[in-house]
Amino acid sequence: MASIQLGRIAGFRFGVDYSWFVIFFLILWSFTAGVFPAQVPGLSEGVYIVMGVVGTLLFFGSLVAHELAHAVIARRRGIEVESITLFLLGGVARTRSEASTPGDEFRIAAVGPLMSLFIATALFGLALIGRSAGWHPAVVIVLQYIGLLNFVLAAFNLLPGFPLDGGRVLRAAVWHFTGDATKATRVAAASGRMMAWVLFALGAFEIFSGALLGGIWLILIGWFIRNAADAGYQQHVLRSTLSGILARDTMTPTPRTIGAGLTLERLVGEYFMHTRYLSFPVVDGDRPLGIITLNQVKALPREDWPVRTVADTMTRVDQGIVVSGSDSLLTVIERLQASPVR
């Protein structure tokens, strides 16, 4: 998912997909021109614009908090979180691995809706306090409406359709009672596909009833859920397969190695040009020093190749690139993804 990186929140990389700008301005327009004028008629256009901006920022802040809750619990359970990204249909906390137990899966999934319920309760509480204290109606309505949206967000996410949080809770429950993570994922994905077809039907009904935008939106959400459910199951099967294959069973048992003092010019001319390999282990006798890849060489100016050595360019073994022959291919891939080797 291509995204614009905005920084870090609680140590997690945070960004927005390009599609997010579409939904941001749609919601801003909806709040400013439709929702808030209907809730509090008679205010100036400038006030409605301020209400729309504040409401939109509060809403997306709520989405970030929802995903941040997932990310924090995942990190506490030993799962590395790559990033939090907002996109057209919401947000996602991307992780490098799956939960290893049904209990972890349940905790990570359930905390998101709980955060949304907490935010909803807090905003409704502030709205009640504000109404009693005589705050401006614009402030009260914004708090109240965003609180309502957070209740809706929590309820929708608890629907038992993978990859929604409710679908992951369902997966955790089936996993717990059967002991079979693959079966649990298959059941949750099937539930997600059923939910997608329900949304397709509701969307079609909305369109034929004259609510074109609402109908298209429901169909779009259904399409996303169906595709994500299928992709989630396929990814799980792939990860399960890779976890059962050992590195020693797929590696080249006696790879061709090179010395650290070799120049990049000789490396290209004598090794990369005459073999099918895209990388070479770098050794000093029997001692591994690191690895060098064709991409690392290609990233450097060609005029540097005659004077720059492998030692100057390689990725060293102390940079987290070493695996054991008894490690699974899944572990190998995860190490590669986390390493600077490309």
Residue 325 half-sphere exposure toward CB, CA atoms < 13 A: 6
Q: 31-35, 158-162, 245-249, 308-312: which range is least confident on average?
A: 245-249
Q: Is 80 a catalytic residue?
A: no
* Residue listed under structure tokens 């249909």: 89
Buried-state track 119-135, b at ≥16 Cβ within 10 A, e below 16: bbeebbebbeebeeeee
Measured between alpha carbons, how far is 69 from 93 in angstroms, rounded to an integer?
A: 9
Measured between alpha carbons, how far is 107 from 169 in angstroms, rounded to an integer?
A: 8
Cβ–Cβ < 8 Å for 300, 310: no
Strand partners, 92: 85
pLDDT tens, position by position, 285-333: 888 888 888 898 998 999 989 999 988 888 888 776 777 788 888 777 7
Measured between alpha carbons, how far is 93 from 81 in angstroms, rounded to an integer?
A: 7
Measure CA 48 to chain center. 33
Cβ–Cβ < 8 Å for 39, 7: no
Catalytic residue among 67, 105, 206, 334: 67
Q: 5-14, 116-125, 171-180: which range is least confident on average?
A: 5-14
Measured between alpha carbons, how far is 13 from 198 in angstroms, rounded to an integer?
A: 35
Q: Which two tokens stand for residue 100?
A: 């290893």
Give the helix/strand (H/E) hosting 290. Answer: strand 287-293
- Residues recorded for the chain: 342
Helix pair angle (137-157, 102-133), 10° resolution: 160
| Intra-chain end-to-end CA distance of the chain, in Å | 19
Measured between alpha carbons, how far is 106 from 166 in angstroms, rounded to an integer?
A: 9
pLDDT of residue 197: 95
Cβ–Cβ < 8 Å for 93, 67: yes
DSSP 3-state of 101: coil
Mean pLDDT across 109-135: 95
* 1: pLDDT strictly greater than 60: no
Cβ–Cβ < 8 Å for 219, 204: yes
